[in-house]
Structure 1
Amino acid sequence: MRKRYAAQNLLFISAAVVLFAITSCKKDRTTTNNNTPVTATPTKLGLYEEAQTDNDTVYREVFITVTQIGTLTVPDSLSDQVFDTGSGGMVIDAHYILPANMITSTGFNFTGDSTVVDGITITNQKHIIQYGDDNNSTATVSGNLCYASVTIGVTNGNIVVKRLPFYMYYKSVDNNGKALPPHEFDVFGANSGYDVTFPNNAFITSPFSYFDPGTGLTKGFKMAALGTANFSDQNEVPLTPDVITLGLTADDLSSASGFSMSQLTESPPYGYQPYIPATITYNGTIVNDASILFDTGTNADNYLEDPSLNSRNAVVLPTNAAVSVSTTSGFKYAYTVGKLDNLTYVENPQYSGVPVSIFSLNFFFDNEYMLDFTDHKLGVKSN
């Protein structure tokens, strides 16, 4: 999701709570006769791939299901969260999750450092997160740091993270302060950045990073190329199975896998943000020393940040404009702006407030994606 990445603008209002990051208990302890551990089998999860058409333009989104939080079975109408490689951390609205009398426009109604409701620990640490295209269109969500056992995925393919730190919000408003509908910004941030950082090193990041994939596997996930055939506009969108693979094998991480790997750099206190150094070329204009993000949470349009652009406002590239990207790891990606597809905006980051160029869900139609949480690497591969 196109989160406001100028993280220094975020407001910190919280009391100190130490984060206890406890991984899931799933392990494969099968051994051979000589007591040599056998490598575990990676875990597969599916995604829901939804399509909607508006004025002949097709907007697509991918969702992952969170079926249980604490002891609460999440209602079907609230269980789908946007699967977002553009952020790190689970973010969910408290409405219809917590009792209504606990939720006010200024915060959660309880006293003390924390309280527990249906197995969900709500702390008194507050924070805000901002989403938007630029400084003129920013939505703000306000909430607290929480912990709970969380079940991710459907019955035939799921994982349980025993104590997941996540962000539950009590209010979301648009740029004019107008309240937005409940669950407008329910996001499953899959990347290794810290979507929210609290005092005493408490943070939320990818729920997948707390999952132990088993013996012989590296913490991380890879995502298959989506194509477009499975995107559906039906009222009941079918699950596309096995899109996400949790647990990376030695073959996945080898140079023979075909993935182009980029080393991520830690940016305290924001973790290992999935930004790749690259050169961008659009319509003959070259942007050197660019930083790019491949983002499933941005569902249609691309945003190029060009410090040399002589405009305070975003400029739309014309139809048939050519855009290409070359990363420092040698990966290349190119597309042509269509009349109804790959609409691309060029912005000056001085005015947009977003220093990272963002390539939308369209990138994932023809490319695979991988994150290694252990060695902090990001891989991409043309399919």
Structure 2
Amino acid sequence: MTKKILLSLPKLFGFLFIILAFNSCKKDKTTTPQKPTVNPVTLGLYEYASGVNKRIFLPVTQVGTKAVTYYTVFDTGSSGMTLDADGILPASMITSSGIQVTGDSVVVNGITVTKTTGIISFGDNLSGTKEYGNLAYANITIGDQLGNLSLKRVPFFLYYKIVDNNNNKFPAHSSDVFGVGPGTSYVISQIQSPLQYFETGSNLTGGFKLATLNKSMFSTAGNYVSNLLTIGLTNTDLSSSGFIMHGLSRFNVGGYSPNIPATISYSGKTIAATVLFDTGTPSTTVIEDKLATTAIGNLPANSTVTVTTNQGFVYTYTTTSTSNLTEVQNPANTGDSRTIFSLDFFISNEYLTDYGNHRIGLKNN
């Protein structure tokens, strides 16, 4: 008996070892790392004005390994960042016919430039620009020494040429855009808002809030205004902070659209409309009315305009000679059926985009 017991002990220990090893491996394979809790990031923007035109700018201070200082137009009306290649890529790579890429892609200064090309248009048939360039990827830093945020491997449009409707070429970096719309680029579907690459952790929803702009801070100096942009949304932002939420429609091209069904009242008439609230439109709101004639043009000062969305958000404003400028167009003239509200809208209203649930929030202030 003693001999049999001694012979069995190694087999028993080996069996137990196999069980423990199996359980240990099984546990490792099924364990999922927990996402950390993170806080929203709040950044300032620069408010700039030249005559009746207003802009808000977000600095970009790192692209790949390249330290830069470019002031990009913060644009709720488009999706994706566009940057001029001048000063980012070696001059030898940039020619009048395009960016030189050998093979499928090339990595320069920590920036992956692909052979995928496109033309991105801004504006309408009456006034617009076109950018020519390539899909690229890079880590970027937005903001500056007053507050900043790093985002990893952001797809963006790296352009080598920008022209107006008459094919006049603009200077380098004269139209860098930071598009934060909820969809994707109509030209290159990989490109979307860089803010979608913010790590939300376990407690936040992807998206941003834009506080009301400070009217008195717009100037040719480009004044820094703190705490305008909050990246990452809390449950409070989405449920009990007073925003009226608008669900967005998804399309095969462009993804989720920021355009919202509404009605617009002006000059004693009310029309059905699709509206876009666009920080990238610097001065003039354009009401698209298919029954309008070219004789209507600009609404006179002291005209009252009211927009009412399909979810009951209401905003009324009065035009002046220097602000809330508004014109009426027929879509046949502009090639665009949307009514586009200019940056003046954001002086009186808060704005929220919820990427996670595909919604836009609007709030009177």
TM bracket, shorter-chain basis? 0.7 to 0.9
Which residue number in structure 1 is paired with residue 260 of structure 2?
276
1:226–1:365 CA contact under 8 A, matched in 2: yes
Deviation digits for residues 26-71 of structure 1, max 9, x if unmatched?
x973xxxxxxxxx532111110111223xxxx42210001110000
Of the three residues 342, 349, 352, the one matched with 2:334 is 352
| Cα shift at 1:327 | 0.4
Which residue number in structure 2 is paired with residue 95 of structure 1?
86
Distance 1:96 1:314, change over 3 A: farther
Which residue number in structure 1 is paired with residue 108 of structure 2?
117
| Cα shift at 1:110 | 2.8
Q: Percent identity?
A: 47
| Cα shift at 1:297 | 0.9
**Alignment partners' CA distance in 2, 1:247 and 1:293:** 22
Indicate whether 1:335 and 2:317 are aligned. Answer: yes
Which stretch has the larger CA shift, 104-113 or 358-367? 104-113
| Cα shift at 1:314 | 6.9
Of the three residues 193, 210, 216, the one matched with 1:223 is 210
Which residue number in structure 1 is paired with residue 196 of structure 2?
209
2:119–2:187 CA contact under 8 A, matched in 1: no
| Cα shift at 1:228 | 0.8
Distance 1:172 1:214, change over 3 A: same
1:191–1:206 CA contact under 8 A, matched in 2: yes
| Cα shift at 1:128 | 0.3
Indicate whether 1:69 and 2:63 are aligned. Answer: yes
Which residue number in structure 1 is paired with residue 6 of structure 2?
none
Q: Give the alignment of 1:190-339 within 5 angstroms.
A: 190-198=180-188, 202-234=189-221, 237-254=222-239, 256-288=240-272, 290-311=273-294, 315-339=297-321
Q: 2:336 is paired with a residue of what secondary structure?
A: coil
| Cα shift at 1:258 | 1.0
CA-atom RMSD in angstroms = 1.7
1:220 is aligned with what amino acid? Answer: G
Q: 1:229 is paired with a residue of what secondary structure?
A: helix
Which residue number in structure 1 is paired with residue 153 of structure 2?
163
Q: 2:113 is paired with a residue of what secondary structure?
A: strand
1:197–1:203 CA contact under 8 A, matched in 2: no
Distance 1:224 1:193, change over 3 A: same
- TM-score scaled by structure 2? 0.87
Q: Which has the higher contact order (CA 8 A, sep 6+)?
A: 1
Which residue number in structure 2 is paired with residue 83 of structure 1?
74
| Cα shift at 1:221 | 0.6
**Alignment partners' CA distance in 2, 1:314 and 1:166:** 39
Q: Which runs of 5+ in 1 are unaligned?
A: 1-26, 30-38
2:72 is aligned with what amino acid? Answer: Q
Distance 1:138 1:245, change over 3 A: closer
**Alignment partners' CA distance in 1, 2:148 and 2:35:** 16
Deviation digits for residues 310-344 of structure 1, max 9, x if unmatched?
33x77111222111100011100111111222111
1:326 is aligned with what amino acid? Answer: T
Q: Which runs of 5+ in 2 are unaligned?
A: 1-33
2:284 is aligned with what amino acid? Answer: D
**Alignment partners' CA distance in 2, 1:138 and 1:231:** 24
2:115–2:134 CA contact under 8 A, matched in 1: yes
2:112 is aligned with what amino acid? Answer: T
| Cα shift at 1:156 | 4.5
Q: Which has the higher helix share?
A: 2
Q: 1:204 is paired with a residue of what secondary structure?
A: coil
2:258 is aligned with what amino acid? Answer: P
Task: State the aligned residue count.
Answer: 332
2:228 is aligned with what amino acid? Answer: V
1:261–1:379 CA contact under 8 A, matched in 2: yes
**Alignment partners' CA distance in 2, 1:231 and 1:351:** 32
